[in-house]
Structures are given as structure tokens and as C-alpha cells.
A = this chain, B = another copy of it.
Amino acid sequence: MNTNSIFQAAQEAFLFYKNLSGKEKGDFLEKIAEILESRREEIVPLAVRESNLPEGRIQGELGRTTGQIRLFANLVKEGSWVEASIDPSLPDRSPLPRADIRRFLSPLGPVVVFGASNFPLAFSTAGGDTISALAAGCPVIYKAHPAHLETSRRVANCIQQALIACSLPSGLFTHVEGGIAEGQALVQHPLAKAVAFTGSQAGGMALFQLANQRKEPIPVFAEMGSVNPIFCFPNKLSKEREALAKAFIASLTLGVGQFCTNPGLIFVPASQAKAFEASLVAELQGIATAPMLHPGIAQAYYDAIQVMEAQEELRWIKVSDPKHLLNGSTALAEIQVADWLKDKQFQKEVFGAFALMVVYQDVADLVEVAKQLQGQLTITLWAEPEELQSQLYLINLLEEKCGRILFKGVPTGVEVGHAMQHGGPFPSTTAVQSTSVGAYAIKRFARPLAFQDMPHSLLPDALQDHNPLGIWRQVNGIVTK
């Protein structure tokens, strides 16, 4: 099948599918979840084999995936997400009458999705990007991740089964295999209207540039990870040193450090650096090595650590010999804040269980850190309430550098809910105004469309006078049901 026929089929499917009701779209999504669950025993072992991730994790990830699908199914069944807004005509307004204007969010068209290596289910074939695009009303052309191709094929087959069960056109979802050239061809096709991607900085930026160089540029929602700094304040750290060390190491090494929200930077006051380091080292004893997702990722991790090892500003707390590094062992180094501030390379993400402990002299140092910090998915503050009260300016600065700011816990474990924001300023994403997790992720694949003086019988249900869908809307700017 060639790219052109894939997009022609997607476009025709789109023109039909976009006009289906939220109930019909929701039923389709639920059918995907149902089939995925029914084939759990077939899919889980495959994903385990292809990702090197433990079975418990993959079992949980399948549940997360179906939970996510049902969140979007409910969202589109309820229907208010389209932000319907109605300004009725004012025929007697002076000096000029007002036309009847009604706006809602309408799907963009065919979306190209690139799956992530680190979540073979939840951020892949039937993951958040695919499902939120389908929920919005967009067909998906899914470029399978070569690292878990067989898992991807089976999940794609679940979606295709759901299409048949719901009598929907097969062009709504296409599973494409191949390498970089195949992916580029998808992004470059004139009928593609958006791109979603989860992965590396290099991969995301290549797609972003490609999409902007098209004759018709299209939005790229690339989530490219970040170093997710944690700021430890003196009082908090002295009170809870061991618990915090434990939480940090657990978050750092979870899934062999292969998470977008993996904390790769931790800021520690000099007065407690030694003690905290000792706690970290103690915690690390209990962490077993585990294979990374695939040999390419292990090699990249190894190479990145080699580059770091060449930096004389670092003092190593723990770094294993190459053999262990290639088997996903943890690496930890210390750097002084003055050195860290000198070079942006100390902000670069190393994908895997690597972190820099940055030793600061005074909390005042952190203002300069905040100013120089690049965009992050998350920033975490570990502080006593009274320590925060004196740091309002710092918090203010840090808010500008992330999509989610935490005051407890660790950044890994991204909740799939209504209020979640999983995105952030560049370089963590190419689209600071979007999220790739949670209900709001659907907004990436829709755009406002207004109808002026449209005959009532032709208006979409969401915009009809008597509100047949019973959704929340604005009428003359007032929220109403």
C-alpha cells in the first residue's frame, strides 16, 4: 500500500467519521478497549519480550491504556469538550444587525502518530495520541515503533477489529511499518494535518522541521522528554533525608530510568550534600540492574555517560563499568552549582537512570538556576511550608519553565485525568500549549470552526438551539446547559 492511497482512504474516512455523534465515536473507542482487554494474554507476553519490561509493569500498562481509552470515550460521549459557543443573531441591533454565529471545535483531519519506545502500549499503537486523535474525529496513520513491532501489529489488529465491529471505514486507522524514510513520507503527505510524537529530542525536532518546511506547514505535537529537576530545601531535606533519598532513587530507577518524567537533576544544599549522598548510595544498594528497552537505547545511554565522564566538573558518586552500564545500571554524579550554571550541556537529558546532584551554597543560588533552566515537563520542590513562603519569586520563575510543578512526591507516574498537564516549554515539547496526557490532549487535534447564518437543519447537533446533546455551551458568552 502506498502513502498516497493510505491518505486518500484516511481522508474519505475522515469526511464520514467527523460527522458521527460523540456516542458513536465513544462506542468505537470502548470497543477498542474491550478487544484489547480480551486479547490481554496474547499481547502482554509479546510486549514483555519486545520491551524487556517486567510482566507486572506491562499488565499495569495495559490497564492504563484501556483506562485512558475509556476516559476519552466518556469525554466524547458527554460532548462538552467541543466548546460550543453561540452568539444568536440580533436583527434589530443598530447601527448594524448582528449575524447568527456559532463556533465549535472541529477535527483537524488525518493525524500521523509516532509511538514511543518506552511505553509499548500506553504511548504506542492504541496509546494516548492515537486515541485522543480518534476521539477528536481524526483518522490516524500510525507509524509503528520498530522496537516492538509484533506488539504493535497485534494492537493495530484490535483497532481494526473494532472498526469492523462498529461498521466504520478501515481508512480510519492504518498501521505503517518501516524506517525513517517511511515516517518522513507520512509527515510530508499533503493530506496529513498534524503529527504526534513521543521520543527523543533529535527525532522530535527532525519531524518538527520537516512539518514546517512543507508547502502547508502543520502542527507537530512532539513530547521530547526533559530532566525534571527536583529542588531540595534545607529544612525539608534535614527532616526527611532518608525518605526523600528513597523516593528519589525509586523514581530515578523506575523502568530502568526510561521515563519522560525521570528526575535527572536534583539540587541539594551544600550543608547536607554529604549526608544526602550517603543516603543515596545506601538506597542504590537495593537496586538491581535490568536490561534497557533495546540495545540501541542501552548503547545511547552508555555513550552519553562516556561523554559525561569526560567532564572534569563532575565527581562521580556511582558509575559502573561499561558492561553494567549497557545492562541499565544507575549512574550518579555530583556537580557544583557554579559549574552547572556555566554549561547548558548539564541540562541535557540522558535517557536512562542517570542523575546529576547539583550542590548549591544558598537558596538564593536557585534564582539564577531558575533563570537559566530550560523548559521541562515537570519541576518538583521538596520544601517545608515555611520555606516556600519565602520563595514565592523562585516559584514564580519556575512556573515559567515547566508544564507541571509538584510539591510532594516524584514526577514519574503521570496520572491520566482531567486536570493533568503532560507537556511544557521547549525543549520538552514543540507545542507548549498542549498536553499529551489527560482529557485535554484531545484539544490538540481540533480547531475552531464557525458557522454564520447556517440554516438550523444543517447545524451540527452541538450548535442547535435546543441543545439536543445537553452539553455545556456558551450563549452570548454565558455558560449554560
Contacts and interface: CB of A to CB of B under 8 A. Distances in A.
Interface of A: 15, 19, 75, 80, 85-87, 96, 98-99, 101-103, 106, 108-109, 208-209, 212, 216-219, 375, 385, 388, 392-393, 395-397, 399-400, 402-409, 413, 415, 417-421, 423, 425-427, 430, 432-435, 439-440, 446-455, 457-458, 472, 474, 476-477, 479
Contacts of A385: 455, 457
Contact of A399 (B106, B396, B404, B425): B106
A407 B452 contact: yes
A244 to B, nearest CB: 14
A432 B447 contact: yes
B452 A406 contact: yes
Contact of A452 (B405, B426, B430, B439): B405
A107 B210 CA distance: 28
A479 B80 CA distance: 9
Contacts of A96: 413
A317 to B, nearest CB: 28
Contact of A375 (B216, B388, B407, B425): B216
Given A96-B413, A421-B103, A454 B403 contact: no
Contacts of A448: 403, 421, 423, 433-435, 440
B420 A101 contact: yes
A101 B417 contact: yes
A15 B397 contact: yes
Given A216-B375, A415-B98, A426-B216, A450 B433 contact: no
Contact of A405 (B388, B403, B440, B454): B454
Contacts of A452: 404-409
A449 B397 contact: no
A409 B99 contact: yes
Given A15-B397, A450-B403, A418 B472 contact: no
15 contacts: A85-B440, A101-B417, A101-B419, A101-B420, A208-B212, A216-B426, A218-B426, A219-B432, A392-B458, A403-B449, A406-B453, A407-B458, A408-B453, A418-B474, A439-B477
A80 B477 CA distance: 10
Contacts of A103: 419-421, 440
Q: Which 4 A-B pairs have the closest CB atoms?
A: A421-B450, A408-B453, A418-B477, A85-B419
Given A400-B109, A407-B455, A418 B476 contact: yes
Given A396-B15, A448-B421, A472 B477 contact: no
Nearest to A86: B419
Nearest to A378: B452
Chain B CB count within 10 A is highest, among A102, A395, A413, A415, for A415
Given A103-B440, A212-B212, A420-B450, 5 more contacts: A98-B417, A216-B425, A423-B448, A433-B447, A440-B448
Contacts of A415: 87, 98-99, 101
B432 A99 contact: no
Contacts of A453: 406-409
Contacts of A99: 406, 408-409, 415
Nearest to A216: B426
Contacts of A405: 449-452, 454
A429 B206 CA distance: 23
Given A409-B452, A449-B403, A449-B421, A426 B217 contact: yes
A368 to B, nearest CB: 14
